Structures are given as structure tokens and as C-alpha cells.
């Protein structure tokens, strides 16, 4: 039955499912169907119409594949739910690795383990409510700070910025943040200072900036001495010595979204001259 | 959805920056953001961009019976909508305080200033008048909605053309645009709103506040003015006490700004008129530039393709020449079973142990394998250049083969996947495969 539906959808779209490996790095569209390598053997190129009857389907090797954001499993099929570039990460040991779609969006969806910048919107009893840009505010226990005890409460006011990590982020549930790691250390997390500027960029740019050996960050670091915090929820907090420098940094980082490497280098060299 | 709260650090930073006469986007105190006006394909449709704030204006008209107390005047109707698309904090279908305030201000600015001659909208006194409806939609919210909306409204009205009508006795004839050119509305003057934001109890003043500046401001003064420096509306909100000379200074600044904006509007209208007359391309599709996302762009790594062709040829030359396959006419044995060339007999059903079968198979089979190898090298070379179509092409070729000789399909598909895996080792791969095949043979 599922097969019949699949065929109907294919004929409706007029497009055959493409093999995931062949479209790596290319743009995929929502609704598109992808074939994983082991599926290719069976129903891949040319085989979709007349497939030889398999007598012992159990023998087929099963590979563990992780579907990241933008992909969705639907029975046997792998469907694309977001528009963007298909990416793949080779597995460390065995398995099919991770597939995901790199898309450009502004709306953040909490993910367990993400480091984000939140704004405290309320204090209620022993938890803080923190706005992280998701569909609902996250909760943050006042005990989840380094060195905090029942007596020794952290000094957090409404409107303060918090850099923390998600420990609970499930569908349809209130996400929960902490500002300590598993050893109870702050590890850079906690309340962010009172100065500096917070601004928002797209999630794609944040991922780009947080990538290991990102050129932009290295170039920015050469410009002025600065403090900077990136939240996976698209928020950046930056602080330099003067207001002017902070403004310049914020505008450069925002503009990086729509600049090519050459344009960026030009701007950085022009700023360095000053 | 709730509005994103403003953090303490943003508020503090903004106020300190304003004290130092600096703004987030690098503007001066009295600077407007970039204003861009683009027109749709139809008359009376425009998009006004004020920085990132965007308003869509659309004018429509209808013949209705007039109001009883104003039998000879047309009806003007303004409606501003704040959709969720502009900012997630706007709720659909609810009249928020902000929306009521903005709509009221727009009406005062455009209707009460009598900038449009409503008498000329009368067709038959007491019976038929034109109702002009101006719909404004906020597409993106980045502060200063009222200025953008007032510009969009007046631009859309200036751009609008209503169908021509003629009255002969009791008969009213409405002409389509093909019969008679539509007529523009008669507009006396163009009132434009200019907003001033005040900070620190009126110590600091900014023109055209953006969204974050609006959030930290203490008070707002909106002055609607036309280019003759006649004030049409003035409104102060936020509950700050302004001094007389502050208001006077604001009105002077407003005069300058309005003159600039009016000139811009006229230029945009003339430009659109010219393009339409010349039959050039116009409309949103032409005028709104698409913004490209380049953050994801990967630099293309240079691949040395100088001697790939030679290498491929070398490999082909080294390979055993395919034994002459006479691609004779396909022989149709029975309907549905055809044969090309002098192959082996049909072996349906032996799919399970195709490897065993390989040993049994004779020379003609090798020819087909060779064919396959050649095809693969072709695919690889093109893959280095660009990663598209050829694989698909070869697929379709194979599909044909599958129909004819069903027992080949599993094998071929397997070689295909090997090919994909070894994409990088382009030159080595065909050799390897040959070895494999030989081992099998």
C-alpha cells in the first residue's frame, strides 16, 4: 500500500526520487524524496518500475543513518521538509552518517545541547523565565548557576542576558536551560555583563560563524579587542572598548550575510587602515 | 506570539549611543533611512520601503451612493493592516491600540487635510459617487510605520487611475481602459508624516526612529506637512512635555524632509510613467531586487582537469578493445522479449546467484561489461566539471536494457553504485573495476 502511494506521489510530482549521494551540496526542495545508498541498490536508478522479487529481504545490510533538520522519515521514505542545501557528515565509525538540510531561517527551534543567549522575562518562585526566541520561553532554575545554593542566589534581574545551554528541549514541552556543565562549572555560561550590544542575525550565519576555523571571526578579532558571545538562536552579543567600535563590529557581522569573501576582505582591509 | 523583550543591555547601549549622537545604523540625528518606491503592474499599487520597514499600498474604486449629508462628495476610505507577517507580535484580526492610533492618524493626515478633491469624485449628485479605498498592508516592521504608511498612501493615490465615466441624461456609462484612458484623481497637495522620537525627557531628538529606538523612546511627535510647509496634522504621544521652540524646530526639520520626500515621490512617479509609455518593463518583479544569501557560498576548490581527458583516453586505450558487437536490429522473439546482438539465451529467474552465473557467461557478456566501463569513465569526466545530469542520462539508457535483458539489472546497478562511491579516484576507478570483473570472470 505504501508503495502504491509512493508511486502515485512520484508520478504526481513528475520527479523521480533522487539518490541522496548524488545531490549532496545541491539545493533540495520540500516534498522531494531522497534515496539512501542502501535503498539505491534495490529501487535506485532504473529499478523503480520493475523490481525483481526479493526472496530473502533480511539479508540486505542495514545501515544506521541519522536524519538531521530539514529531513523527515516517513515509513520507508526519506522526505525533505525544508528548502536548502543537502549536507552529509561521514560517520566516525560504521553506519551511514548524518544527513541534514542547511537552510536559511530566522526562527529558532530549541535543540538539546545548544548554547543560546536568552533574555530573562520573569522571576517566578525558584525559576527564571527566559526568552530564547523559540515558540515559548525556557525555564532556568536559580540553582543552575555555578556556586548557587538555596541560600546563595545568583543576582539576576528581569531583562538580563543569560548565556546557557539546553538540557531539555522536546516537542510540545517547555525547554529547560542551565548555566553549568555536567561537572557543575560555569564554563563561560552565566549572566552576560551589563554593557555591550545584542543583535540578531539568521541562524545560518551563526552556524557559519561558529564553524571551526571561521575566517570572519579571525578577521574581526584582528580589528579591535572585543568580547563576543554567539547564541545558536541567532543572537550575538558583542562588546568592544567604545560604543563606536561596538557599532562597527555589529554592523560588519550583520553585513557578512550578504557579502562575498572578496567584498568582506576589502571592507576589513579598509577598516584596518583607519 | 509575544514580542521579544528588550534586554537591559540593549536599552543602556542605545541610550548611551544616542547621547554620543550615534545610531545603530550609522545615521545622523536628522537622517531618514533609504526610501524606495516601487510600483506594481496595475495602477494604484505600490510598495514603499523605509529601510527595512515595508508597506504595500493598493487603491481601488467603486461606484456607490453618497452619504445623505454630503450628496456631491466622493467617499475616501483608509485602512491600515498590521499582519503577523510584519512582526510576530502583531495579532491578526484584533484592533490593537497601536493600529487604531495609526489608522486615525492616517485619516487625519489624508482625509481631513482635503488633499484629494472629493467633489470631482461625484458622478450623479445624490445618486452615484466614487468610493476610493486605500488599503495599506505592513509587510515588514522595523519602526516608523506611520511615515512609511503615509508615503505609501499618497503615492498609491497619485499613481491610481479610475475608469472614465460619462453621463448623458440619466444614463451613466462606464468605460473600460481599452475604450477610454482611465483618469487620475485630482490631488491638491501631498501631506507626508514625519516622526520625531524624544529621549531623556526631550533632551535628545531623532528623526525616523527604527524599531529598537522606538522601544526606548520617551515620546513621539508626528507632524504631517505638505511641500508648501502647511501643517496638516500634528500629534504628540508618549506623555512628554515639549517646549515651544522644540516643536518649532521639529516643524522646520519636517519642512525640509517633506520637500525631499515629495521630490523623490514625483521622480518615482515620472519614472514609472516614462517606462510605461516606452513600453519597458515595470512592476514589482522588475523593480524589487532580489537579495542573495552569500553566507553559505563555498569557494570552489580548483580541480586540475588539464590532463583528465588524456588520462581517460589512455585508460580506454589500455583497456581491451571491445570485441565487435554487431548492434544488429533487435530481434523480437515474442511480444515483450526482444534481443539485441547475438547474446546468450534468456535466463530469467536466475537472479539470486548472479555471481555464479558470471562464471558461466561467455564472451558476449564481457562486451557488455566493457561497454559499461566506458560509459562510467564518461560519467566521471563530466562529473569533475559539473555534478549533474550525465548519471541520470546513463540511467535511462540502462533502463532500456533492463526491459530487454532482465537478468543484467542487479549487476549493473551495483557497478553504478561503486562508481559513485569512487568518484574522487576518477582515473583509478575503471581499472579497479576491470580487475574486479576479471577476478569474477
Q: What pLDDT, in 10s, does the model give residues A166-221? A: 999 998 899 999 999 999 888 899 999 889 999 999 998 998 899 888 888 888 88
In the CATH scheme, what architecture does the domain B26-281 have?
2-Layer Sandwich (3.30)
| Angle between helix B97-110 and B145-159 (nearest 10) | 40
Contact status of B228 with chain A (Cβ, < 8 Å): no
Q: CB-based burial of residue A221 (10 Å sphere; 0-12 exposed, 13-18 middle, 19+ buried)?
A: exposed
What phi, psi does B290 have (nearest 5°)? -90, 135
Quote the CA–CA distance of B221 and B223 in Å, as a whole number. 7
- Asked whether the domain spanning A197-273 has the same topology as the one spanning A114-191, the reply is no
- pTM value? 0.70
Residue range A16-38+64-103, CATH number: 2.40.50.100
Nearest to A258 among B291, B299, B413 (CB): B291
Which of A25, A198, A208 shows the shortest C-beta gap to B7? A198
Contact A46 B398 (CB under 8 A): yes
Predicted local confidence at residue B394, as pLDDT? 45
Q: Which residues contact B204 (CB under 8 A, 6 or more apart)?
A: B18, B19, B29, B198
Q: In which band, very low, low, confident or very high, does the pLDDT at A18 lie, cut at 50, 70 and 90?
A: confident
Cα distance between residue B42 and residue B131, in whole Å: 18
* Chain B residues touching residue A267 (CB < 8 angstroms): none
Nearest-neighbour CA in chain B from A205: distance (Å): 6
Domain positions in chain A:
16-38+64-103, 114-191, 197-273
Which of A28, A35, A45 best probes binding to B when mutated, by most B CB atoms within 10 angstroms?
A45
Predicted pLDDT at A41: 55
B:245-304 residues touching chain A, CB 8 A cutoff: 291-299
Q: Is the pLDDT of residue A231 over 90?
A: yes
Q: Considering the domain A197-273 in this protein, what is its CATH number?
A: 3.30.1370.10
∠ Cα B19 B147 B252 (to 5°): 65
Contact status of B1 with chain A (Cβ, < 8 Å)? yes
Q: Tell me the pLDDT of chain A averaged across its residues.
A: 83
List pLDDT tens digits, range A94-149. Answer: 677 888 888 888 889 999 999 999 999 999 888 999 999 988 999 999 999 998 88
Chain B positions in Cβ-Cβ contact with residue A258 (cut-off 8 Å): 291-295
Mean pLDDT, each 10-residue run in order, chain B (441 residues): 86 93 90 92 91 94 91 92 89 86 92 90 90 94 94 94 90 89 92 94 91 92 93 90 91 94 94 87 72 60 76 82 62 72 60 49 48 47 44 44 49 48 48 50 46
Q: Which three cell numbers stand for residue B48?
A: 514603499
To the nearest whole Å, the CA of B133 is away from the closest chain A CA by: 35
What mean pLDDT do residues A143-157 have?
90
Q: Is the ipTM of this complex over 0.90?
A: no
Hey, is the C-beta of A208 within 8 angstroms of any chain B C-beta?
Answer: yes
CATH number of A114-191: 2.40.50.140
Tell me the C-alpha distance between B433 and A6, whole Å: 34
Amino acid at each position: 500500500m505504501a508503495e502504491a502511494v509512493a508511486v502515485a506521489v512520484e508520478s504526481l510530482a513528475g520527479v523521480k526520487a533522487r539518490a541522496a549521494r548524488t545531490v549532496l551540496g545541491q539545493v533540495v526542495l520540500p516534498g522531494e524524496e531522497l534515496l539512501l545508498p542502501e535503498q539505491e541498490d534495490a529501487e535506485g536508478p532504473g529499478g523503480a518500475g520493475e523490481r525483481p522479487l526479493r526472496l530473502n529481504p533480511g539479508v540486505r545490510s542495514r545501515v544506521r543513518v541519522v536524519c538531521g533538520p530539514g529531513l523527515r522519515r516517513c515509513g520507508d521514505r526519506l522526505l525533505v521538509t525544508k528548502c536548502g542545501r543537502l549536507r552529509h557528515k561521514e560517520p566516525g565509525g560504521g553506519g551511514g552518517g548524518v544527513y541534514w538540510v542547511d537552510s536559511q531561517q530566522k526562527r529558532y527551534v530549541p535543540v538539546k545541547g545548544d548554547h543560546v543567549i536568552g533574555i530573562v522575562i520573569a522571576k517566578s518562585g525558584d525559576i527564571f523565565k527566559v526568552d530564547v526566541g523559540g515558540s515559548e520561553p525556557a525555564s532556568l532554575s536559580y540553582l543552575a548557576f555555578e556556586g548557587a545554593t538555596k541560600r546563595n542566589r545568583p543576582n539576576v534581574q528581569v531583562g538580563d542576558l543569560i548565556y546557557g545551554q539546553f538540557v531539555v528541549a522536546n516537542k510540545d514541552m517547555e525547554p529547560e536551560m542551565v548555566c553549568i556543565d555536567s561537572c557543575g562549572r560555569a564554563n563561560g555560561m552565566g549572566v552576560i555583563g551589563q554593557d555591550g550590544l545584542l543583535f540578531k542575525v539568521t541562524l545560518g550565519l551563526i552556524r557559519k560563524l561558529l564553524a571551526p576555523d571561521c575566517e570572519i571571526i579571525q578577521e574581526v578579532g584582528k580589528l579591535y579587542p572585543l568580547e563576543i558571545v554567539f547564541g545558536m538562536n541567532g543572537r550575538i552579543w558583542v562588546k568592544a572598548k567604545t560604543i563606536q567600535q561596538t557599532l562597527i563590529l555589529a554592523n560588519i557581522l550583520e553585513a557578512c550575510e550578504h557579502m562575498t569573501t572578496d567584498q568582506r576582505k576589502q571592507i576589513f582591509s579598509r577598516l584596518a587602515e583607519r | 506570539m509575544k514580542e521579544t523583550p528588550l534586554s537591559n543591555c540593549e536599552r543602556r547601549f542605545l541610550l548611551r549611543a544616542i547621547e554620543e549622537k550615534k545610531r545603530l545604523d550609522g545615521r545622523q540625528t536628522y537622517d531618514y533611512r533609504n526610501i524606495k518606491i516601487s510600483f506594481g503592474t496595475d495602477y494604484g499599487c505600490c510598495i514603499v520601503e523605509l529601510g527595512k520597514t515595508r508597506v504595500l499600498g493598493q487603491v481601488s474604486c467603486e461606484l456607490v451612493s453618497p452619504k445623505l449629508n454630503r450628496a456631491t462628495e466622493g467617499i475616501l476610505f483608509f485602512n491600515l493592516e498590521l499582519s503577523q507577517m510584519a512582526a510576530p507580535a502583531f495579532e491578526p484580526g484584533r484592533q490593537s491600540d497601536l493600529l487604531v492610533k495609526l489608522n486615525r492618524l492616517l485619516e487625519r493626515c489624508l482625509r481631513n487635510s482635503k488633499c484629494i478633491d472629493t467633489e470631482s469624485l461625484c458622478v450623479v449628485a445624490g445618486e452615484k459617487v466614487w468610493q476610493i479605498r486605500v488599503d495599506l498592508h505592513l509587510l515588514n516592521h522595523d519602526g516608523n510605520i506611520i511615515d512609511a504608511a503615509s508615503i505609501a498612501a499618497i503615492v498609491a493615490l497619485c499613481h491610481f487611475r479610475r475608469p472614465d465615466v460619462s453621463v448623458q441624461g440619466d444614463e451613466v456609462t462606464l468605460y473600460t481602459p481599452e475604450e477610454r484612458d482611465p483618469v487620475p484623481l485630482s490631488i491638491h497637495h501631498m501631506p507626508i508624516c514625519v516622526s520625531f522620537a524624544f529621549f531623556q525627557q526631550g533632551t535628545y531628538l531623532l528623526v525616523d526612529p527604527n524599531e529598537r529606538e522606538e522601544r526606548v523612546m520617551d515620546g513621539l511627535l508626528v507632524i504631517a506637512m505638505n511641500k508648501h510647509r502647511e501643517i496638516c496634522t500634528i500629534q504628540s504621544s508618549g506623555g512628554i512635555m515639549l517646549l515651544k521652540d522644540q516643536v518649532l524646530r521639529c516643524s522646520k526639520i519636517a519642512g525640509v524632509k517633506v520637500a525631499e520626500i515629495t521630490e523623490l515621490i514625483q521622480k518615482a512617479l515620472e519614472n514609472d510613467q516614462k517606462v510605461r509609455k516606452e513600453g519597458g518593463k515595470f512592476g514589482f518583479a522588475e523593480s524589487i531586487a532580489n537579495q542573495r544569501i552569500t553566507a553559505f557560498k563555498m569557494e570552489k576548490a580548483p580541480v586540475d582537469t588539464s590532463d583528465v581527458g588524456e588520462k581517460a583516453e589512455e585508460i580506454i586505450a589500455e583497456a581491451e578493445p571491445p570485441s565487435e558487437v554487431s548492434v544488429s536490429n533487435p530481434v523480437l522473439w515474442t511480444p515483450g522479449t526482444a534481443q539485441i546482438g547475438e547474446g546468450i539465451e534468456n535466463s530469467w529467474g536466475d537472479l539470486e546467484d548472479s555471481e555464479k552465473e558470471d562464471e558461466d557467461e561467455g564472451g558476449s557478456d564481457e562486451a557488455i561489461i566493457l561497454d559499461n566501463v566506458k560509459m562510467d569513465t564518461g560519467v566521471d569526466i563530466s562529473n569533475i566539471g559539473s555534478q549533474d545530469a550525465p548519471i541520470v542520462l546513463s540511467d535511462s539508457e540502462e533502463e532500456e536494457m533492463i526491459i530487454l535483458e532482465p537478468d543484467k539489472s542487479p549487476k549493473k546497478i551495483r557497478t553504478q553504485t561503486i562508481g559513485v562511491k569512487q568518484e574522487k579516484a576518477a582515473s583509478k576507478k575503471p581499472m579497479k573495476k576491470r580487475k574486479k570483473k576479471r577476478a569474477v570472470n
